[in-house]
Amino acid sequence: MFEEEFEKLYESEKEEFKRVCNYLLSKTFVLRDVYDKQQKRMITSPEFLFMEKYYDIFENYLSYSGWNLTKDPINGIYKVENIYGYNKAKFDSFTTYILLALMLTYEEQAPITTMGNSVITTPYDIATKMQILGLIQKRPSKESFRISFRRLEQFNLILRLNTSQDLDAWKIMIMPTINHIVTYDKMKELCEYIPTILKEKYEKKSEDQEMLEMEGALS
């Protein structure tokens, strides 16, 4: 079925199919509405339009290869998920905390329809949210934020609207794909659970420090 339909495409379309398919597999998500930094406005993603046109071919190919292709028609999102779980991304703890703060921010603010149902925030606001949630005790370094934001941007979860070297000047667009990571209930559960783990970690660290000081005094 796939081969028959694929062979009907022009050579240029076959190449575009390969490109878009690799883009989807590397990003996990393809969005309809994307921000063009040069034009400084929202545009319709050419990758999304191509997938719309040849959806059946994409679905057949991906299904044959062990991938499930789903669509969120309201927000304009294509998502691919491996049936064996091989495309699950692993984030470090700090990036996970940022992700939770981003998800809560998206839930609490009204999405901007003219911006593709996205929400605009700043690194300062996210750091403040993390402190309120008890995810961090002090503000991390700017470099830590840069690394984590780049990581999340790789999966089309956020977009940095400017490329300033000054992190404080950044504007972060939270994409609607953020809702496809975990359910809202699961997110709330994590936010309630993580501070308990952190508290135990900090208490253990304090106890260890006290023991070291006591040993030093006795020696």
Q: Are 75 and 176 spatial neighbours (Cβ–Cβ below 8 Å)? A: yes
pLDDT interval class at 35 (50, 70, 90): very high
CA angle 171, 175, 176 (to 5 degrees): 150
pTM of the model: 0.83
Strands (E), the chain: 29-31, 33-36, 41-44, 67-72, 77-82, 119-121, 158-160, 172-174
**DSSP tag of 109:** S
Arithmetic mean of pLDDT, 71-89? 92
Res 172 pLDDT > 90: yes
Q: What's the confidence (pLDDT) of residue 87? A: 81
pLDDT in tens, 3-25: 889 999 999 999 999 999 999 99
Q: Which of 130, 108, 149, 140 lies closest to 195, judged by CA?
A: 130
Arithmetic mean of pLDDT, 58-72? 95
Q: Are 107 and 67 spatial neighbours (Cβ–Cβ below 8 Å)? A: no
Q: Which of 17, 5, 24 lies closest to 70, judged by CA?
A: 24
Res 216 pLDDT > 60: no
CA distance linking residue 91 with residue 155, whole number of Å: 12
Q: What is the dihedral of CA 104, 106, 107, 111, to 10 degrees?
A: 170
- Every domain of the chain and the residues it spans: 2-82, 93-204
- Element spanning 62, H or E: helix 55-64
Classify 93-204 by CATH class: mainly alpha
